Amino acid sequence: MALRKFFIKRLFQSIIVFLACSAIIFTLVRLSGVNPITSILGGGKETPEAIAAVRIKYHFDQPLLVQYFFWIGNIFKGNFGESYKFLQPVTTLIMERLKVTTGLILISLMITPLTAIAGGMLSAVKKNTWLDRFISISSLVMLSIPSFLTGILMIFIISTFTPGISFVGSFQNLGEFFLRLIFPAIALSLSNIAIVLRITRNKMIEQLNSNYVLNATAKGLSFRRIIFGHAFKNALSPILTIVGIQIGAMLSGTVLVENVFALPGVGSLLVDSIKASDYPVVQGLALLFIFVFVSINLIIDISYGIIDPRIRVNKS
């Protein structure tokens, strides 16, 4: 019962946050001062009749609040409007490019938690040895290299030593798709791995110094059992929170990585649209990013509620 109440409450909060974000984006675009009618028509074609037609077609003749509700209502119907630049529905444009970005994020999501948690736990268990220092220093360096620089360096190193791998051209089958995406995905993951790794290490050390671990050791439990059965379980929820936040960083990170590796994903679409002041596409993509981010955080919060009953009580 408590779980259901908690779930409904969190769902409700997420919807409000999403609507608030969409309102902010809508207001920002309208505050921009750029005349959208000119952008739609393009230079030279601004006859009074054409302007009037566009005003009615895109509801620019209505008050701002009404325009917002038109916009948000259409979005719930899956209609994000039409791109000024490509003259295609935004949904089609995004769908075409979603494959690459989804692939990138999924591969990153497979690499990041696994390596980061394994590395962080190893570092915590071997605290103050050379291995721990090595992991700590390399994670600090990984944290400090921007993903676009990692990408450039990777292309350089790979094309110097293995000229066979190409970073251009299209991909026909799943194998080629994976090969093209694996290096960008690594470039995207490195700094996230470092952040999650450092948190894992700190939380694990905190748990390993606690009394219940001392008690478990005194009871004669095996080391493995203490680490995986007790300490890790308790360190897991803060680690999950960070992974959730990092997915947000990943969403904007794809924009950079796609730029470096010349991949046709939604990130490169976003940059092109920003440069061309193609507002419907920018708005649509921004909403998509926020929707994904809010949903993931909702899922993580709810999974806490299932893992750790204390949270249900505290938050509701």
Partner 1 sequence: MRRKLILKLKNQPLLAPSISIPFLILAIFVTGAIFAPFLATHDPNRLDLANTLLMPSRDHLLGTDNEGRDIFSRLLFGFRPTLLGAIGVVGLASIVGVFLGMVCGYFEGLIDTIVMRLWDINLAFPTLLLAFVFVACFGKSLMNVVFALGIIFMPLITRLTRSLVLTEKNKTYVEAARSLGYSHLRILFVHIFPNCIQTILVQVAISLANAILDLSALSFLGLGVQPPTADWAVMLQEGKASFLSSPVVVLAPGIAIILVIVSINILSDGLNTYQASGKE
Judged by the rule CB under 8 A, the positions of this chain that interact with partner 1 are 17-18, 20-21, 24-25, 28-29, 31-34, 140-141, 143-149, 152-153, 155-156, 159-160, 247-249, 251-252, 255-256, 259-260, 270-271, 273-275, 277, 279, 282, 286, 289-290, 293-294, 297
Tell me whether residue 207 or residue 273 sits nearer to partner 1 (CB atom): 273
Task: Classify 173 in phi/psi space as left (phi over 0), alpha (psi -120 to 50) or beta.
Answer: beta
Helical segments of the chain, H only: 2-31, 36-41, 48-57, 64-76, 90-125, 130-144, 147-161, 174-208, 211-218, 223-224, 232-260, 266-275, 279-307, 309-315
Provide the minimum distance between the beta carbon of 300 and partner 1 in the complex, in angstroms, as a whole number.
13
Cα–Cα distance measured from residue 8 to residue 125, given in angstroms and rounded to the nearest whole number: 39
Cα–Cα distance measured from residue 225 to residue 203, given in angstroms and rounded to the nearest whole number: 17
Tell me whether residue 134 or residue 212 sits nearer to partner 1 (CB atom): 134
Provide the minimum distance between the beta carbon of 174 and partner 1 in the complex, in angstroms, as a whole number.
28
Is the distance from CB of 108 to CB of 188 less than 8 angstroms?
yes
Tell me whether residue 208 or residue 281 sits nearer to partner 1 (CB atom): 281
Tell me whether residue 146 or residue 309 sits nearer to partner 1 (CB atom): 146
Cα–Cα distance measured from residue 85 to residue 42, given in angstroms and rounded to the nearest whole number: 9
Provide the minimum distance between the beta carbon of 225 and partner 1 in the complex, in angstroms, as a whole number.
31
Rg for the chain, CA atoms, rounded: 24
Provide the minimum distance between the beta carbon of 29 and partner 1 in the complex, in angstroms, as a whole number.
6
Tell me whether residue 207 or residue 246 sits nearer to partner 1 (CB atom): 246
Provide the minimum distance between the beta carbon of 211 and partner 1 in the complex, in angstroms, as a whole number.
20
> Cβ contacts of residue 42 below 8 Å, gap of 6+?
none
Provide the minimum distance between the beta carbon of 217 and partner 1 in the complex, in angstroms, as a whole number.
25
Tell me whether residue 1 or residue 31 sits nearer to partner 1 (CB atom): 31
